Amino acid sequence: MGAAIADNLGFLPNWAISLVLIAGAMILAWSLHWAVMWTLRRVLARRSEFWRNLLARIHRPIRLALMLVLVGRAAGVAPLEPYETALLQQITLVLFVLLVGWVVFIALDVASALYMKRFKIDVEDNLLARKHITQLRILRRALGTLIVIITAGFALMTISSVREWGVSLLAAGGAAGIIVGLSLQPLLTNLIAGMQIAMTQPIRIDDAVIVENEWGWIEEINATYVVVRLWDWRRLVVPLTYFIQTPFQNWTRETAALIGTAMIYVSHAAPVEAMRAKLNEICSASPLWDKRVVNLAVTDLRDRVMEVRCLASARNAPATFDLRCEIREKMIAWLQTAHPDALLYGRNLTEWVAQRDERRTGAPVGPALTRGPDE
């Protein structure tokens, strides 16, 4: 058909005939696009939400692909110089390969979005959701990177002068990391680390971690790095390989619940049993306590001070931190009121005991009793 049209336009110069053929190919592609999309919507749109969303996002790439195919065909029958025809067909072929890669990338994005809709991370028990979302985000970025590499490799393979470069790049995408002498090695190293994290999941989205002596939450897991949102709103950016090669603390690996420790230093006169009962009272009245662990024990005894450890559990790391602060504040306030001698040690404790005895008996205490043990 193109050759017949070119013969009928023989009275025009060659450039005008070529322009008419290319313009006609683009108009025909526009019409075919409408027919193709109408057919696809009839056949596929009723099957699933994936096809409906995909067709809504790829109608422009399909239109461009049809234009490239027909323009390439028109260039073959247009009265152009051989090198001009070859150049135009080469350009359309490369662009068509890139469009195919674009469509595959859009399909991956649509499938990922639909899968993520099944999980909610803004709920109290979100361990399963964080697991699947973490795997999906890492795999999506890894597959997206491979799609880009493979598409670029096929595009280069269509050009004979750089076909060897295309084969090398395509082999790099298939081997996922075997690159010699190219600067892509750090990128693919982190890509492989991302695949390991997606499979083994030492970290997940919204995990509470301690990294480089900083406490925060996993906010983003990208193709080459992880963003940790610290407690004071700073962001710590760490390479993916860090979480494979370096020890770190994950406070929400299996569950978000944690046991918090509040250390209190008191004198030997402190009533341990009364403090234990007060700790139970504080935790029972606190909405932060998850009613699982509460304990008080003397963990160290020195010449002037006694170390008391208060343990209590809470549902997550922020609640545990707040519960620890609440235990300290209320225990100290109670000791100041009910047992002030428990907060005094050394010289201060000796003087306080002497003054108390003097108030009770009315008899003055000798200077020897007012001296501290170190005097």
pLDDT tens-digit profile of 79-123? Answer: 566 766 777 777 888 888 888 898 999 999 888 888 888 877 666
pLDDT greater at residue 263 or residue 134: 263
Inside any domain, residue 270:
yes
Q: What distances in angstroms separate CA 345 from CA 39, 166, 355, 359, one per listed residue?
A: 88, 78, 14, 20
The answer to whether residue 357 is domain-embedded is no
| Residue 17 near residue 9, CB atoms below 8 Å | yes
Pair of tokens at residue 72: 């390439």
User: Which pLDDT band, with edges at 50, 70 and 90, does 65 fall under?
Assistant: confident
Answer whether residue 287 shows pLDDT above 80.
yes
Q: What secondary structure letter does DSSP report for 201?
A: -
pLDDT at 248 over 80: yes
Q: Half-sphere exposure of 61 toward its Cβ, with a 13 Å CA cutoff?
A: 18
Residue 287 structural domain: 258-343
Could you tell me which of 158, 224, 155, 233 has the C-alpha nearest to residue 195?
224
Residue 141: band (very low, low, confident or very high) from pLDDT cuts 50, 70, 90: confident
Name the band, by pLDDT with cuts 50, 70 and 90, for residue 169. Answer: low
103 and 145 in a single domain? The answer is yes
Task: Output the domain CATH number for residue 209.
Answer: 2.30.30.60
pLDDT at 254: 78
Q: What is the pLDDT of residue 374?
A: 41
| pLDDT score of 232 more than 60 | yes
User: Mean pLDDT, to the nearest integer, of 121-146?
Assistant: 76
- Nearest CA among 121, 144, 147, 148 for reference residue 132: 121
Segment among 4-8, 164-168, 236-240 with least mean pLDDT: 4-8
Higher pLDDT: 194 or 102? It is 102
CA angle 129, 132, 136 (to 5 degrees): 135
Residue 275 to residues 271, 295, 307, 326, 338, Cα–Cα distance (Å): 6, 10, 12, 15, 11
Spatial separation of the C-alpha atoms in residues 149 and 178, rounded to whole Å: 13
pLDDT at 35 over 60: yes
Residue bearing the bigger pLDDT, 137 or 170:
137
**What does pLDDT average to over the chain?**
78
pLDDT: which is higher, 71 or 215: 215
CA–CA separation, 126 vs 202, rounded Å?
Answer: 16
Phi first, then psi, for residue 230 (nearest 5°) are: -75, 165
- Whole-number pLDDT of residue 353: 58
The pTM of this model reads 0.54
Within a domain: 361? no
Domains of the chain: total: 3
Same-domain check for residues 19 and 165? yes
For residue 136, tell me if it sits in a domain: yes
> CA-based Rg of the chain, rounded to a whole angstrom?
37
Among 354, 126, 346, smallest CA distance to 256 is for 126
Residue at a domain's end among 131, 149, 179: 179
Residue 339 included in any domain: yes
CA dist list (Å): 57 to 61, 104, 118, 144, 373? 8, 11, 21, 17, 83
Residues 148 and 204 in one domain: no
| pLDDT at residue 17 is higher than 90 | no
Q: Is 297 among the domain residues?
A: yes
The residue whose two tokens read 């001070």 is 305
**CATH number, residue 264:** 3.30.70.100
How is residue 233 written in tokens?
């709103």
DSSP 252-318: TSS-S-EEEEEEEEE-TTS-HHHHHHHHHHHHHH-TTEEEEEEEEEEEEE-SS-EEEEEEEEESSHH
Residue holding tokens 């046991």?
259
* pLDDT higher than threshold 80 for residue 284: yes
Stretch among 127-136, 178-187, 313-322, 326-335 having the lowest mean pLDDT: 178-187
Q: Quick check: 29 pLDDT over 50?
A: yes
> Does the pLDDT at position 327 exceed 90?
yes
Cβ-contact 280, 354 below 8 angstroms: no
Whose CA is closest to 34, among 71, 68, 66, 2?
Answer: 66
Tokens of 121: 């991370």
First to last CA, the chain: 115
Q: Are residues 30 and 175 in the same domain?
A: yes
Report whether 322 contacts 330 (CB < 8 A). Answer: no
Q: Of 47-56, 184-193, 280-289, which one has max mean pLDDT? A: 280-289
Q: In this structure, are 145 and 204 located in the same domain?
A: no
Residues 9 and 152 in one domain: yes
**Distance from the Cα of residue 282 to its chain's centroid:** 37
CA distance 104 to 113: 14
What average pLDDT does range 112-139 have in this prediction? 77
Report yes or no: 269 and 342 within 8 Å, Cβ to Cβ: yes
Tell which wins on pLDDT, 136 or 189. Answer: 136
What is the C-alpha to C-alpha distance for residues 122 and 14, in angstroms, rounded to an integer?
A: 65
The answer on 199 and 74 residing in a single domain is no
Task: Decide: 342 and 264 in contact? Cβ < 8 Å.
Answer: no
**Identity of the residue numbered 58:** I
Note whether 276 and 309 are within 8 A (CB).
Answer: no
Dist CA 286 CA 310 (whole Å): 15
Q: Is the pLDDT of residue 41 over 80?
A: no
